[in-house]
């Protein structure tokens, strides 16, 4: 097999090929590293390439495979991590000047599980600074560019992870999702991504943005690759008190796809879009997105699902509730970056007070400062009841709304984003416009539910469109089954960037 052909294979196919001795782990790893070194300057998807450790580990895993060890279904497969996931000895800077050069002394729980399963961590992906943003433009090391159109965003905050997968630089990536940060970039870049149920994957070793909302999950071209990876990284962890799952997910990916998994399933199709207005920003659902999502629902209907339209009256409150809670938690979590214990310290500081003030002023970017200031304001003595307490009350109403919806439906289907990928720099001066891009995704995090983004078409400019499947808590098996059926009936997930006209 030619080296470039390896870049076209799914993660599961790579693992199968290694097991069948069609190619070796070092050959696969070197092929992907060479491709990153050759092409990533145009995407800026990677912040760090761990070449030396990856090559060494590839040889170690190959020896174990040669000895006949059955390590895992993804043994030997290269993977990259969003740069807010701690990796021992490998820089983890969260795309921020505040942590530039910081090398953790321990691995995140996810990394431990990946290494145990025999995957090879190749590097760390670019992102919005500290995962705060919706376009991967707020980071200190430059914007991520969408492989489908280099003038457009790859989405955020996990844009580097999505772009790396879409560009064929890596077959698998793990990112985090606070309000849509796995699903929106997946949709913009034409790949598949899963945001698991809150508590299904340990957050130990992941730099917290908003602790009650953050959840790590997989990104790949296919739902099967995502499922295989999710089964590895999910499971209990005593070091994370919010990790409530009792055992890792188990998905049957060896049997043929059966449409019986869809037949009779009740799927609710979200039919309304909020008209929330702030700073002259009005959310409008793009007609091409609406058409593609509708076609996806009809595809599942043709497979035997029962699709019924519904509306959510609370959609006007999704973004205000999400932003208030997220900002409040950011304000609290980021208090530790004080210029003393670790991280950036201003060389201009002469007094203790200046160390605090200047280090944070110089170390944080604009979006991080904006969230901290808003969160501190919402938590202040005079505003707590007015903003934060009301946001918590609204969150309970949103959770109750979804609880009632899942008494009617097995799954919910909706757009991922109101539009396709927008131009870089277009929304930098209007953050509310970026925030409103999470109108379909943020409530999922508020309710702690699982959701998947799957490719379902293209707009007239050739940009990918994705749709979202939302499940009840810990029903990832249902999401995977329906996703497999959809992808067995369509080919959008197999279309690489720039090749959609060959469909």
Tokens representing 93 are 């800077």
**Residue 280 neighbours by CB distance under 10 Å:** 8
CA distance 437 to 415: 11
Asked if residues 96 and 140 have their Cβ atoms less than 8 Å apart, the reply is yes
Sign of the C-alpha dihedral computed for residues 90, 15, 4 and 82 taken in this order:
negative
- 114 Cβ neighbours under 8 A, 6+ residues apart: 79, 121, 174, 232, 233
Sign of the C-alpha dihedral computed for residues 53, 54, 55 and 58 taken in this order:
positive
> 82 catalytic, yes or no?
yes
φ/ψ of residue 266, rounded to 5:
-95, 115
Which residue, chain included where needed, has tokens 């605090």? Answer: 356
Asked if residues 359 and 349 have their Cβ atoms less than 8 Å apart, the reply is yes
Asked if residues 180 and 442 have their Cβ atoms less than 8 Å apart, the reply is yes
CA distance 166 to 148: 8
Catalytic one of 72, 80, 82, 297: 82
The SS3 call for residue 284 is coil
- 443 Cβ neighbours under 8 A, 6+ residues apart: 315, 318, 322, 398, 402
- Render 351-397 in DSSP notation, one character per residue: SHHHHHHHHHHHHS-HHHHHHHHHHHHHHSTTTTTTTHHHHHHHHHH
Nearest Cα to 379, choosing from 332, 445, 334?
332
Tokens representing 13 are 């196919």
CA distance 251 to 58: 26
Inter-axis angle of helices 366-379 and 318-333, to 10 degrees?
100
Tokens representing 388 are 């934060």
**Residue 367 neighbours by CB distance under 10 Å:** 23
Sign of the C-alpha dihedral computed for residues 195, 413, 189 and 153 taken in this order:
negative
Catalytic one of 181, 234, 331, 414: 181
CA distance 126 to 138: 10
**Residue 36 neighbours by CB distance under 10 Å:** 24
> 453 catalytic, yes or no?
no
> 290 catalytic, yes or no?
no
**Which residues are known to be catalytic?**
82, 157, 181
């Amino acid at each position: 097999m030619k080296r470039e052909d390896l870049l076209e294979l799914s993660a599961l196919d790579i693992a199968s090929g290694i097991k069948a001795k069609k190619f070796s782990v070092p050959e696969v790893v070197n092929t992907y590293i060479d491709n990153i070194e050759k092409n990533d300057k145009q995407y800026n998807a990677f912040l760090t390439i761990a070449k030396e450790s990856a090559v060494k580990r590839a040889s170690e895993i190959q020896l174990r495979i040669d000895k006949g060890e059955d390590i895992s279904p993804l043994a030997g497969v290269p993977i990259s991590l969003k740069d807010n996931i701690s990796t021992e000895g490998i820089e983890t800077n969260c795309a921020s000047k505040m942590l530039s050069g910081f090398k953790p002394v321990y691995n995140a729980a996810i990394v431990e599980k990946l290494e145990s399963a025999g995957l090879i961590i190749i590097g760390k992906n670019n992102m919005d600074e500290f995962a705060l943003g919706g376009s991967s433009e707020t980071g200190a090391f430059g914007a991520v560019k969408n492989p489908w159109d280099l003038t457009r965003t790859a989405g955020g905050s996990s844009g580097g992870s999505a772009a790396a997968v879409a560009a064929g630089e890596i077959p698998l990536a793990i990112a985090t999702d606070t309000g849509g940060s796995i699903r929106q970039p997946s949709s913009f870049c034409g790949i598949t991504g899963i945001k698991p149920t809150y508590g299904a994957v340990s957050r130990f070793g992941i730099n917290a943005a908003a602790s009650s909302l953050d959840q790590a999950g997989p990104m790949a071209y296919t739902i099967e690759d995502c499922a295989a990876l999710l089964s590895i990284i999910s499971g209990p962890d005593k070091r994370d008190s919010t990790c409530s799952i009792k055992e890792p997910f188990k998905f049957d990916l060896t049997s043929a796809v059966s449409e019986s998994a869809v037949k009779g399933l009740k799927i609710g199709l979200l039919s309304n879009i909020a008209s929330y207005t702030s700073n002259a920003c009005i959310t409008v659902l793009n007609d091409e997105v609406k058409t593609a999502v509708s076609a996806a629902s009809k595809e599942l209907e043709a497979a035997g699902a029962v699709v019924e339209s519904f509306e959510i009256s609370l959609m006007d409150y999704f973004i205000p509730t999400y932003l208030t809670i997220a900002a409040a938690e950011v304000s609290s979590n980021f208090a530790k970056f004080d210029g003393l214990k670790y991280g950036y310290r201003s060389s201009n500081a002469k007094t203790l007070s200046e160390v605090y003030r200047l280090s944070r002023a110089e170390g944080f970017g604009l979006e991080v400062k904006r969230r901290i200031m808003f969160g501190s304001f919402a938590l202040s003595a005079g505003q707590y009841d007015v903003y934060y307490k009301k946001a918590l009350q609204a969150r309970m109403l949103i959770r109750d709304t979804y609880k009632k919806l899942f008494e009617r439906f097995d799954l919910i289907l909706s757009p991922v984003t109101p539009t396709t990928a927008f131009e870089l720099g277009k929304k930098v001066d209007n953050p509310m416009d970026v925030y409103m891009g999470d109108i379909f995704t943020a409530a999922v995090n508020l309710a702690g539910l699982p959701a998947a983004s799957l490719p379902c078409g293209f707009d007239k400019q050739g940009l990918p469109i994705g749709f979202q499947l939302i499940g009840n808590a810990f029903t990832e098996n249902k999401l995977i089954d329906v996703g497999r059926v959809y992808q067995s009936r369509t080919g959008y997930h197999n279309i690489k960037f720039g090749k959609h006209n060959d469909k």
